[in-house]
C-alpha cells in the first residue's frame, strides 16, 4: 500500500525556523497561570518588597544626582511613564528617567530596517548625551524600584514589554506573563537590546520554567558583570 503521508519517503524533514519550534496553534488556558511554588507565590514577593525598599534607600543619593542631570539636560519632566504589559497580561505604567529631548518626534527616523528587532538602538539620535550615558549603565531604570514597591514588578523576571510589541506576539509567547516582569532577568544579562523577538521570548520562557531562589540568585550575581560589560539591557 502506498504511503499516504504528505512527505514523500526518503525526503528530508522540513526545518522550522527557531521562532516556531515551540509555537502552539492556539492559546492555552494556563498561559497566565503563575507557577505553583511557595517561593514564587510567597517568598519572592516578600524579597522584592524588602530588598526593593533597601535598594531605594541606598540608591537615593544616586537617584537624586541622576534626576538633577536629566533636569539640566531635557528640562522639566525628568521622569516619564510608559505603558507595559505585566503579570497575567495586564498593562501597567512603568517609570523611567527621560533620556530623549522634548523634540524627539521631530528628530525621529527609522532605527532599524529589521522589524524583528524589538528595542531601539543606543545610537538613536533622539537620545541626549546624558540619556545615552544613563541607558548604557541602565540608570534610566532606577525609578522602576517604585514599580517593585508597588508590587507591579519583581527585582528579577522577564523584561516588561511594550503593549504594541505584545500585540504582535504569537500565542506561545504570552506565557512569559505567568510571572511578574523584573528589573533584571535572564535575557537582560544575556544580550543588550540586539536580540530578535523570538530569542528574548525563549529566554523568558526558560526563566518561567526554572524560576526559583537558585535561579534568581544566579541572575542577580551575573547582573553587575553584565552591566559592566554592557551586555544587560
Number of domains in the chain: 1
Return the pLDDT at 14.
41
**Is 76 a member of any domain?**
yes
Alpha-carbon span 197 to 200, nearest angstrom: 6
- Residue 233 located in a structural domain: no
Residue 108 lies inside a defined structural domain of this protein: yes
Q: What is the pLDDT of residue 105?
A: 53
CA–CA distance, 36 with 5 (Å, rounded to integer): 41
Does residue 172 form part of some domain?
Answer: yes
pLDDT (mean) for 81-100? 95
Q: Say yes or no to pLDDT of 43 above 60.
A: yes
DSSP states of 93-156? EEEEE--B-TTTTTT-----S-TTB-S--TT-TTB-HHHHHHHHTTGGGTTHHHHHHTTS-EEE
φ, ψ for residue 21, nearest 5 deg:
-65, -25
Assigned domain for 131 exists: yes
Residue 140 pLDDT greater than 80, yes or no:
yes
Query: Binning pLDDT at 50, 70 and 90, where does residue 20 land?
Result: very low
Residue 220 to residue 180: CA distance in whole angstroms = 16
Least confident of 1-15, 51-65, 142-156, 201-215: 1-15
C-alpha 157/C-alpha 40 separation (Å) is 11
Integer Cα distance of 86 and 161 in angstroms: 8
The boundaries of the domain holding residue 185 are: 59-228
209 falls in which pLDDT band (50, 70, 90)? very high
Model confidence, pTM: 0.77
Please check whether residue 22 lies inside any domain of the structure. Answer: no
Among candidate residues 24, 150, 154, 152, the one with its CA nearest the CA of residue 90: 152
With respect to residue 100, please indicate whether it lies within any of the assigned structural domains.
Answer: yes
Residues with Cβ < 8 Å from 177, sequence gap 6 or more?
31, 32, 85, 86, 87, 88, 89, 158
Measured CA to CA, the distance from residue 198 to residue 116 in angstroms comes to 8
4 found inside a domain: no
Grid cell of 222 as nine digits: 551575573
Amino acid at each position: 500500500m502506498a504511503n499516504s503521508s504528505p512527505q514523500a519517503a526518503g525526503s528530508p524533514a522540513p526545518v522550522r525556523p527557531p521562532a516556531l519550534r515551540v509555537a502552539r496553534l492556539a492559546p492555552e488556558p494556563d498561559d497566565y497561570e503563575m507557577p505553583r511554588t511557595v517561593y514564587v507565590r510567597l517568598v519572592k514577593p516578600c524579597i522584592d518588597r524588602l530588598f526593593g525598599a533597601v535598594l531605594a534607600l541606598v540608591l537615593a543619593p544616586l537617584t537624586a544626582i541622576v534626576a538633577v542631570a536629566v533636569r539640566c539636560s531635557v528640562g522639566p519632566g525628568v521622569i516619564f511613564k510608559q505603558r507595559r504589559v505585566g503579570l497575567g497580561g495586564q498593562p501597567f505604567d512603568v517609570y523611567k528617567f527621560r533620556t530623549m529631548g522634548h523634540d524627539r518626534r521631530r528628530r525621529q527616523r527609522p532605527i532599524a530596517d529589521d522589524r524583528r528587532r524589538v528595542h531601539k538602538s543606543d545610537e538613536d539620535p533622539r537620545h541626549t548625551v546624558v540619556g545615552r550615558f544613563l541607558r548604557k549603565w541602565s540608570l534610566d531604570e532606577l525609578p522602576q524600584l517604585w514599580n517593585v514597591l508597588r508590587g507591579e514588578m519583581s527585582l528579577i523576571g522577564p523584561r516588561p514589554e511594550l503593549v504594541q510589541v505584545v500585540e504582535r506576539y504569537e500565542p506561545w509567547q504570552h506565557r512569559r506573563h505567568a510571572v511578574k516582569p523584573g528589573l533584571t532577568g535572564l535575557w537582560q544579562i544575556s544580550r543588550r537590546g540586539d536580540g530578535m523577538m523570538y530569542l528574548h521570548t525563549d529566554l523568558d520562557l526558560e526563566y518561567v520554567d526554572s524560576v526559583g531562589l537558585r535561579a534568581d540568585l544566579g541572575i542577580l550575581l551575573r547582573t553587575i558583570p553584565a552591566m559592566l560589560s554592557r551586555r544587560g539591557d
